[in-house]
Amino acid sequence: MKRSPASSLFSKTLYFIYRPRPADALLSSSSSDSVAATGSGALQPSFMSEYLVTSCGFSPEKATKASNLLGGIASRRQPDSVLGFLKSHGFDDTHVKELLSGNPRWLLLDVEKTLAAKFRALQELGFSQSDITQLVLTNPSAINYHIRTVVHRIRFWQGLIGSNDLLIKLCNHHQWLLGYSVEKRIQPNIDMLRSCGFTDQKLRTILGYHPTLVTQRAETLRTLISRVEGFGVARTSPRFHLTLWMLSNVSVERFNAQKKLFGAFGWSEADFLDAFKKTPGFLTSSLKNLKMKMEFLVNEAGYAPSYIALRPVLLTYSLEKRVIPRYQLMAALKSRGLCAGHPKLFTYISCSEKKFLERYVIIYKKQFPELIELYSARK
């Protein structure tokens, strides 16, 4: 068989997920929140530009744009009071720059009536000071929205998630979570998921991995549910929830491109759909990654595409960290006449690391003492 370049692959691909702000998120403070008084003696924008550069770490270009929004500041006392409050509540210079870059109008806020009041409200909801710092960093909408709105949304999420620790983790993974309306966006989606058999526990589990399932538009979720059912996966099926989650990460265009890719390796449409229903998780890999895996399994390891179609879980394992090292170790054992029975690829790839070491490495340490070192080096 022709040797695939995939056999020498050991690089790690990093995926970065862009988290967009919700459509209804505010970019400035609520009009109902108190803003510092302005006067005829307001400082000139050029002064504010210099202030933003020297005190907030802005670039000159960013400072010039932001200063146009801050013409009402009458003295240094106002922005200094905001900076002082933030720094006294656990925000370092990097945090302050990050927050004010996206929310320059915070420098107009009345510290006592707005910032201090909201921080006290968060403390009353059970958050520690470090929790509040993290919450505001990941969800500035906690400051941008009216205090009653923020408290209402947090109480809703507390009831759904079950603890503040889990809520903080959820906010870390999904910026602007608190920017979504409970009544208009979140609750309708949750009701829809519950109609599909999602229990509160399943909701908490899936929110930990994919919170955008409940923050997307209801029409989008409804279409997604129809796609899952269109593949013959009933709402009562144990696979429905996983399939829904996986498909939410795969657009129709990407799904069709993946189907075309596997068709080039000889899979029929029925093969592809059966593999998808059996192991929907393999579709979350990129086209490039899936192609390299198929090339290695077919061209290097010598297995028929139909063998892989019946065992699509093979496509979910890391090529460089699991498949190639284990395949090469088994080849080394066979070259020395070891490993009686010649186990199939699926058998030794799918077993846990502990079982693999017990069955195929430790047991041969006397006959092949350098095997452990060889296997570790290839991982």
Start-to-end CA distance of the chain, whole Å, equals 24
Cβ atoms 100, 62 nearer than 8 A: no
d(C-alpha 240, C-alpha 231), whole Å: 10
Is 50 exceeded by the pLDDT of residue 5? no
For the chain, domain boundaries: 181-249, 317-379
Q: What is the DSSP letter of 109?
A: B
Longest dimension (CA), the chain: 91
The model's confidence at residue 14, banded by pLDDT at 50, 70 and 90, is very low
Three-class SS state of 31: coil
Q: Using one digit for the tens of pLDDT, what is the confidence trace for 149-204? A: 999 999 999 999 989 999 999 998 888 899 999 999 999 999 999 999 999 888 88
The model's confidence at residue 44, banded by pLDDT at 50, 70 and 90, is low
Q: Using one digit for the tens of pLDDT, what is the confidence trace for 291-320? A: 999 999 999 999 999 999 999 999 999 999
- Per-residue pLDDT at 206: 83
Q: Using one digit for the tens of pLDDT, what is the confidence trace for 319-345? A: 999 999 999 999 999 888 887 777 899
- Distance (Å) of CA 210 to CA 158, 192, 214, 239: 17, 16, 9, 16
Q: Using one digit for the tens of pLDDT, what is the confidence trace for 51-64? A: 999 999 999 999 99
The model's confidence at residue 27, banded by pLDDT at 50, 70 and 90, is very low
- Distance (Å) of CA 267 to CA 96, 169, 283, 298, 302: 54, 41, 15, 12, 16
**Helices (H) then strands (E): counts for the chain:** 22, 0
Is 80 exceeded by the pLDDT of residue 45? no
- Distance (Å) of CA 174 to CA 122, 184, 213, 275: 19, 18, 11, 31
Q: Which residues of 181-217 are buried (b: 16+ CB within 10 A; e: fewer)?
A: ebeebbebbbebbeebebeeeebbebbeebbbbbbbe
Report CA 264 to chain centroid distance, whole Å: 31
Which residue in 36, 53, 34 sits closest to 45, CA to CA?
A: 53
Structure tokens at 183: 């009544």
Residues whose CB falls within 8 Å of the CB of residue 195, separated by 6 or more in sequence, listed in order: none
The model's confidence at residue 142, banded by pLDDT at 50, 70 and 90, is very high
Q: Using one digit for the tens of pLDDT, what is the confidence trace for 84-98? A: 999 999 999 999 999
Cβ atoms 364, 370 nearer than 8 A: no
Cβ atoms 96, 133 nearer than 8 A: no
Cβ atoms 35, 108 nearer than 8 A: yes
The CB density around residue 305, as the number of other CB atoms within 10 Å, is: 16
Is 70 exceeded by the pLDDT of residue 10? no
Residues whose CB falls within 8 Å of the CB of residue 86, separated by 6 or more in sequence, listed in order: 95, 96, 99, 115
Beta pairing partners, 90: none
Residues whose CB falls within 8 Å of the CB of residue 162, separated by 6 or more in sequence, listed in order: 204
- Per-residue pLDDT at 242: 86
Structure tokens at 90: 């656990």
H/E element, 63:
helix 60-67
d(C-alpha 375, C-alpha 2), whole Å: 24
